């Protein structure tokens, strides 16, 4: 069976209640599909009205259901009626065999009821004794059929630039507030070795910060990007490894040759081998993040997307850098505090679940390298449906 492309729109209320991680984790772990793209939207009037009209005309849904969903889009996706500020919607794309049906099964019916689906867990459908709907929150919106999936993806991709990317002033985000910052989080490639709930669980832990996700991107880092991204680490490693390498090399030589290594030779070992070992540690970091080993990567391939992927998220809010760093924990998972991301999900100082910017300045530098506002929704839509 050929692969399909399916979408999930994580609704504004779901995002505002910090249920984003749970939704992503459930879809990834229970469908076995591959997360290939993600983008934040603040839908404008044209997109909202056009999408609602499409939903209302969806013949694969019962008239009452499609009317309910169309009204929901018009109301819940629209800007706040008092402030005029837009809402946050996260679109994720999932690829794999029978993807559309798998997403439908995992999302569950609009009327809910089974207890095992996304909507049963994160949504609400409340009716009175006359079967009139009193409250409705479907948690996510999905494609009801292949045709509707194609039409929806084409519509949202047309608005990916105008209505998506970095969300500035939304209903729950105020960049002008004193102390407001934005910071980058990279959920590292070890979380994507196979479909699992791990990326969603990490997002769940980070939601304790009270910050808002204002941009998202599934990113495949090139070797050139990784070398620039981790450039400040390289010199640190070269210096840090000198003493360690000198001591290890001296012990090895003493054991092998049966002679005492004088301090002058130890100094030479430190100066000559330390930087080499530091460079190798740096190359291993780049290999881990990209899937490519820099010394064997042809120069013409250094700017190409690597085979490994990560999920890039930009969080915005007061004191964002420090809040995220505290929740991530120490670089070494064994030294991180209980309940932190790295203590819960990290393995060692490199395979430590996630990266976070360590300063406002580095956040801006790293965000620029990763290009988190880049639209990758449209290329995927074109791949499956053309222009």
Q: Which residues are catalytic?
A: 355
Cα angle for residues 343, 203, 30 (degrees, 5° grid) = 100
E strands, the chain, are: 3-10, 34-41, 89-97, 124-127, 133-137, 140-142, 180-187, 212-219, 310-318, 354-356
Who contacts 132 (Cβ-Cβ below 8 Å, separation ≥6)? none
Using alpha carbons, select from 173, 165, 162 the residue that is nearest to residue 85.
173
Beta-bridge mates of residue 35: 94
> Collapsing DSSP states into helix, strand and coil, what is residue 148?
helix
> What are the CA-CA distances from residue 12 to residues 149, 210, 356 (Å)?
20, 15, 25
Burial 113-128 (b: 16+ CB within 10 A, else e): eeeebbbbebbebeee
* DSSP annotation string for 71-101: HHHHHHSSPPTTT-PBPPEEEEEEEEETHHH
Tokens matching residue 381: 């839509």
Exposed / middle / buried, residue 63 (Cβ in 10 Å: 0-12, 13-18, 19+): exposed
Cβ atoms of residues 336 and 346 within 8 Å: yes
Measured torsion, CA atoms of residues 20, 45, 159, 384, in degrees rounded to the nearest 10: 70
Residues in the chain: 387
Beta-bridge mates of residue 140: 10
């Amino acid at each position: 069976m050929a692969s399909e492309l399916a979408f999930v729109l994580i609704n504004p209320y779901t995002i505002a209640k910090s249920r984003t991680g749970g939704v992503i984790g459930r879809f990834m772990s229970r469908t076995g599909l591959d997360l290939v793209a993600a983008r934040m939207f603040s839908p404008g009037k044209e997109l909202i009205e056009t999408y609602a009209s499409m939903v209302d005309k969806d013949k694969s849904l019962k008239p009452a259901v499609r009317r309910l969903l169309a009204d929901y889009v018009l109301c819940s996706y629209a800007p706040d009626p008092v402030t005029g500020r837009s809402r946050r919607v996260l679109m994720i794309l999932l690829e794999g065999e029978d993807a559309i049906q798998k997403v439908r099964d995992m999302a569950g019916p609009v009327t809910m009821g089974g207890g095992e689906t996304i909507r049963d867990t994160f949504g609400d459908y409340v009716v009175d004794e006359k079967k009139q709907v009193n409250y409705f929150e479907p948690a996510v919106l999905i494609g009801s059929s292949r045709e509707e999936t194609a039409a929806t993806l084409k519509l949202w991709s047309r608005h990916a630039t105008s209505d998506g990317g970095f969300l500035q002033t939304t209903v729950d985000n105020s960049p002008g507030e004193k102390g407001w910052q934005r910071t980058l989080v990279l959920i590292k490639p070890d979380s994507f070795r196979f479909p699992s709930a791990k990326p969603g669980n990490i997002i769940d832990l980070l939601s304790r910060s009270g910050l808002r996700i204002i941009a998202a991107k599934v990113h495949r880092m090139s070797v050139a990007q990784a070398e620039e991204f981790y450039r400040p680490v390289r010199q640190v490693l070269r210096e840090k490894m000198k003493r360690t390498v000198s001591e290890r090399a001296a012990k090895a030589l003493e054991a092998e040759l049966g002679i005492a290594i004088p301090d002058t030779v130890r100094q030479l070992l430190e100066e000559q081998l330390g930087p080499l070992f530091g460079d190798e540690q740096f190359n291993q970091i780049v290999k881990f993040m990209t899937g490519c080993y820099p010394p064997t990567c042809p120069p013409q391939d250094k700017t190409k997307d690597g085979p490994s992927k990560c999920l890039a998220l930009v969080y915005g809010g007061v004191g964002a850098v420090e809040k995220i760093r505290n929740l991530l924990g120490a670089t070494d998972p064994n030294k991180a505090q209980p309940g932190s991301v790295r203590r819960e999900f990290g393995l060692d100082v490199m395979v430590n679940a996630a990266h976070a910017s360590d300063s406002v300045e580095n956040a801006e530098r790293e965000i620029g390298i990763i290009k988190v506002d880049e639209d990758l929704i449209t290329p995927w839509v074109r791949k499956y449906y053309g222009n």
